[in-house]
Amino acid sequence: MNDPQQPGGQQINIELGEKEAEGIYSNLAIITHSPAEFVIDFTRVLPGVPKAKVLARLIMTAQHAKLLMHALEDNIGKFESKFGEIKIHGDAPGGFGFQPVVKDEKVH
């Protein structure tokens, strides 16, 4: 893992707790935004289960959301260079997957 650095080259230490190190599996992200923030709710939808619970919520500024998008694009490019193209196979049954639902409304 690369050492995270803040703008200006200052190195920061990031602590990863035991619970967070386990991670959370998510196959659906719901994205909403207000003029000030982007909110990304991560959930897991399973076939035959009509209800899903938000497992994690990220709230960030529009600028940080765009930086996250660029970081993901960069990392996906590096992944595909090493392992090959990631295939997206049409719409998954029941709309499963990271299909962003973008709403232009205030988030509380």
Answer yes or no: are the C-beta atoms of 65 and 73 closer than 8 Å. Answer: no
Q: Compute the average pLDDT of residues 74-84.
A: 98
Q: What is the mean pLDDT of the chain?
A: 84
Least confident of 49-53, 56-60, 91-95: 91-95
Architecture of domain 24-84+95-103: Roll (3.10)
Mean pLDDT over 3-17 rounds to 78
Mean pLDDT, rounded, for 53-71: 97
Instruction: Between 31 and 104, name the one with better pLDDT.
Output: 31
pLDDT at 94: 45
Sequence ranges of the domains in the chain: 24-84+95-103
Residue 101 or residue 50, greater confidence? 50
H-assigned helices in the chain:
18-22, 62-83
